[in-house]
Amino acid sequence: MVNLGDVFPDFEAETNKGPIKFHQFLGDSWGILFSHPADYTPVCTTELGRVAQLAPKFAERNVKMIALSIDSPESHNGWIKDIQSYCSLKGDFPFPIIADDKRELAVKFGMLDPDEVNAQGIVLTCRAVFIIGPDKKLKLSLLYPATTGRNFDEILRVIDSLQLTAKYKVATPVDWQSWSKVMVVPSVKPEEFKTLFPQGVEVAKVPSGKGYIRKTDAPK
Ligand code: BEZ
């Protein structure tokens, strides 16, 4: 397993678009590596179609996308035609899919869902998401079971939070959206407000009298 803050290990893999070396594939970009249980399954078809529709939004955020399942490159290429047809997508499919048919990466990175097996009794991959920063360190991981499709608009929201909080000493509160206020992180001292947040800081009054809820406009 890779923990938050660890360098996500480099690896070589086959994809439907040819072999890759993961770190070289990422270059200086952010990255999202996400797995799905199997090609030619319904929820996965809706998920990969949605990610393909959102590809320009990942590109705007400088995030390279790559998917993974335990199927072969030929299977991925056949299934992509179904995804494009079902989700009304045209042109080149915007991201490669790793063919982890020996399940080496799935095992190494803890991506298996023991509750889901295929017709041959083989345990399938879960719906894992790993977001990796330009420093190659793991910034976020999510594991969903095979039976629950993910919300990739939420994943874009999370990327906005990760990218903002990587630059400024702020944290994003519940249900945060890019236009709403952010919280000053606890390690910032009040005497630093003027320099770090010239836009101003509001400190909420709470019964404890402790001024720990400190809101500001998102720095630009
Ligand atoms: C699906 O993608 O629909 C799916 C795959 C494996 C188990 C359950 C659902």
At 42 the pLDDT is 98
For 28-52, b/e burial (b = at least 16 CB within 10 A) is: ebbbbbbbbbbbebeebbebbbbbb
- Spans of all domains in the chain: 12-151, 168-216
Rounded distance from Cα 134 to ligand 1 centre (Å): 32
Q: Which of 41, 83, 122 to mutate to test the pocket of ligand 1 (most atoms within 8 A of CB)?
A: 41
Would you tell me which CATH number, out of the four given (3.10.580.10, 3.30.420.40, 3.30.70.600, 3.40.30.10), belongs to the domain 12-151? 3.40.30.10
pLDDT band of residue 196 (cuts 50, 70, 90) is very high
Closest residue by CA, ligand 1 atom 2: 43
Residue 220 has a pLDDT of 83
Q: 120-146 as b/e, with b when 16 or more CB fall inside 10 Å?
A: eeebbbbbbbbbbbeebebbbbeebeb
Specify the length of the chain in residues.
220
Query: What band does 24 get if pLDDT is binned at 50, 70 and 90?
Result: very high
pTM of the full structure: 0.96
Architecture category of domain 168-216 in CATH:
2-Layer Sandwich (3.30)
pLDDT at position 119 is 87
Token pair for residue 133?
Answer: 């920063």
The pLDDT of 172-197, averaged and rounded, is: 96
Q: Which atom of ligand 1 is nearest to the CA of 47?
A: 2
Active site residue 135: yes
Beta-bridged to residue 130, according to DSSP, are 33, 141
Atom of ligand 1 nearest to the CA of 124: 6
